[in-house]
Amino acid sequence: MLIQELQDLQHRYGYLPREALHELAERLNMPFFEVYGVASFYPHFRVEPRVGTQVRICTDLSCHLAGAEAMHAALQRACVGAGLANTVSIGTTSCLGRCDAPVVYALNEQIYRGADSESIAMLVQHLRDGQLPPLQPLPESPASLQIYPYGDTQAFAALRQAIERRHFTEIIATLKDSGLRGMGGAGFPTGAKWEIVRQAPGHPKYVVCNADESEPGTFKDRMLLQAVPELVLEGLVLGALTIGAQHGYVYIRHEYAREREGLEQALQRMQRDGLVGESILGSELGVTLEIFDSPGGYICGEETALLEALEGKRAEPRHKPPFPGTHGLFGRPTLINNVETFAFIPSILQRGAEWFKSHGQHHAVGLKFLALSGHVQRPGVYEVPLGLPASRLIFGYGGGLPPGRRLKAFSPGGASSGFLPASLVDTPLEFQALASIGSMLGSGAVVAVADGVCMLDLALNVVRFFRQESCGKCVPCRTGSEKLVQILERISREGGTSSDLDTIQELAETMQLTSICGLGQAAPLPITSVVRHFSDEIERHVYQRQCPAGVCF
């Protein structure tokens, strides 16, 4: 695959030399412009050599709430004071998936979390000595999870039973009965999706695990890859067997390099034990799995853009229909689910649909992993009943807000779900309840926002993220997100007029109706939700040039 060839080149040279790209194009019998077009599209690839040491600080939602911009400025001052201005470059980066321990930064290829004034001083000292700080240990995984079904039974029992019984239509029926929905954001019924791909004509078929969570506030899949990689892989193999695929991929974001190591080790153990490969447990059934490292970009989380990347192209979303279930990877029927969805499969098949349905609250069924960050005392990933009120997650599991601060707002489903006021904090975190108030469960990321935060500034921060991550393929998203940022920046700088609010609404409606994929459709939600629920604060900015938080102007 072209992208893997480019990754090998960058690993060898540290960047992608132009002459090496010409040689690659000749070897692959591809036009140079196609190779260069792919290399220049992805943020992880460099077509120029890196000079000196690069520090890139995450300034997206959770890190923004933790003071990322102040850290950025403090680090710049410290490096200048230490005489490092010519050898260390300091910039920003999109979310690095460690929202539970902000502020997060990337030092060359290594990621560090929990940065504060003390760690800045230590970082500068290491840089002055020509060293990199030691890698931090991975955060501890939960001691036990309800999702794990093999406490008293042989591991991989669901897979062993599938090989023995070949009850693949029954597997689909069980998943349908369980009510399991896709946990990546769309919430499409899992059993129905598997049935569509199984019945789709054409071979070969493929199965893909989407482990490219890149939305600010979202890190639940990272924890699952760390804690139960075997369940993810078992679910992936079961999906392949059920739909009739013989090859599958785990598409993982490159910032999850250490989680990838654990996944690779789990895959090797399965290969050693005959649980994956060309002949599973000595049968004629075979499924080979491959881990594919993403070259970066939030857009790769969109399923058709992910498929384009797997095919060695620029990760630009496809027009739908047709859908991946019938026309996916290389035009073949393809099953795509995310990490959390695949991780639930062995438990449901081992314990039965009723076990899964026995969990849930407020008319929702099943368990859910939610990532909690922002202004809470105990950020992290929590395994909870689907439909748990947001108040219970924030004030119960999360320990509430820091002393002396009150909840002002919260994001119920990641950056793309917008912001809701504290008055709605008892809303159940489930698909229908959130849809009824104009929001969504989304990526399963709840971000708490305390008083004293400017909601215009927060919306601007998230809209900037979407503008930055737009692939640029469609005009509504490319132009609309840029225009939204321009309007919000001007309002925060000098105020505005009623026509600005009208333009925001018109842009939002156009982007939601005409953008090719979910990124463009969701990009306006941060500001439209703030205009809707925090109208007084927005109007003070627009008409009176006043920022209650003292952030703007």
pLDDT tens by residue, 144-162 = 899 999 988 899 999 999 9
Q: Which helix (H) or strand (E) holds 89?
A: strand 88-93
Amino acid 33 reads F
CA 303 distance to own-chain centroid: 12
317 Cβ contact partners less than 8 Å away, ≥ 6 residues apart:
299, 302, 304, 305, 308, 471, 473, 516, 517, 519
Residue 260 clears pLDDT 80, i.e. is over it: yes
At 186, the pLDDT band (50, 70, 90 cuts) reads confident
pLDDT digits (tens, 9 = 90+) for 298-340: 999 999 999 999 999 999 999 999 999 999 999 999 999 999 9
Percent of the chain surpassing pLDDT 90: 95
Q: Is 223 helix (H, G, I), strand (E, B) or coil?
A: helix
Across 498-523, average pLDDT: 96
Distance CA 356, CA 549 (A): 44
Q: Which helix (H) or strand (E) holds 433?
A: helix 431-435
Percent of the chain surpassing pLDDT 70: 100
**Average pLDDT, whole number, for the chain?**
96
Q: What is the per-residue pLDDT for 219? A: 96
Report CA-CA distances (Å) from 343 to 12, 50, 225: 35, 38, 9
Q: Which is nearest to 117 in space by CA: 66, 59, 83?
A: 66
Q: Tell me 394's DSSP state.
A: I
pLDDT digits (tens, 9 = 90+) for 384-427: 999 999 999 999 999 999 999 999 999 999 999 999 999 999 99
Report CA-CA distances (Å) from 98 to 236, 441, 454: 25, 20, 23
16 Cβ contact partners less than 8 Å away, ≥ 6 residues apart:
6, 9, 10, 39, 45, 46, 47
For residues 152 and 162, the answer to whether their CB atoms sit within 8 Å is no
Rounded to 10 degrees, what is the CA torsion of 375, 376, 382, 387? -80
Distance CA 168, CA 274 (A): 20
Q: What is the per-residue pLDDT for 184? A: 85
Q: What residue ranges define each of the domains in the chain, with the CATH number in brackets?
A: 2-41 (no CATH), 53-128 (3.40.30.10), 157-356 (3.40.50.11540), 359-450 (3.10.20.600), 455-544 (1.20.1440.230)
At 142, the pLDDT band (50, 70, 90 cuts) reads confident
Amino acid 529 reads S
Q: Which helix (H) or strand (E) holds 299?
A: none
Q: What is the per-residue pLDDT for 138? A: 86
Q: What is the per-residue pLDDT for 151? A: 86
Amino acid 36 reads Y
Report CA-CA distances (Å) from 218 to 16, 103, 178, 311: 31, 15, 25, 26
Report CA-CA distances (Å) from 489 to 463, 466, 495: 11, 15, 9
Residue 448 clears pLDDT 80, i.e. is over it: yes
C-alpha count within 13 angstroms, C-beta hemisphere, residue 258: 16
Q: Which is nearest to 236 in space by CA: 378, 136, 315, 346?
A: 346
More confident residue, 141 or 477: 477
Instruction: Please provide the DSSP assignment of 231-275 as one string.
Output: HHHHHHHHHHHHHT-SEEEEEE-GGGHHHHHHHHHHHHHHHHTTS
For residues 275 and 294, the answer to whether their CB atoms sit within 8 Å is no
For residues 341 and 180, the answer to whether their CB atoms sit within 8 Å is yes
Distance CA 445, CA 453 (A): 19
Q: Which helix (H) or strand (E) holds 55?
A: strand 53-58
At 15, the pLDDT band (50, 70, 90 cuts) reads very high
Distance CA 181, CA 100 (A): 25
Across 32-42, average pLDDT: 96
Residue 62 clears pLDDT 90, i.e. is over it: yes
* Residue 441: how many other CB atoms lie within 10 Å: 28
Residue 143 clears pLDDT 80, i.e. is over it: no
Q: What is the per-residue pLDDT for 26? A: 97
Q: Which is nearest to 472 in space by CA: 320, 329, 298?
A: 298
Residue with tokens 């925001």: 504
For residue 352, give both structure tokens.
């039965």
Q: What is the per-residue pLDDT for 169? A: 97
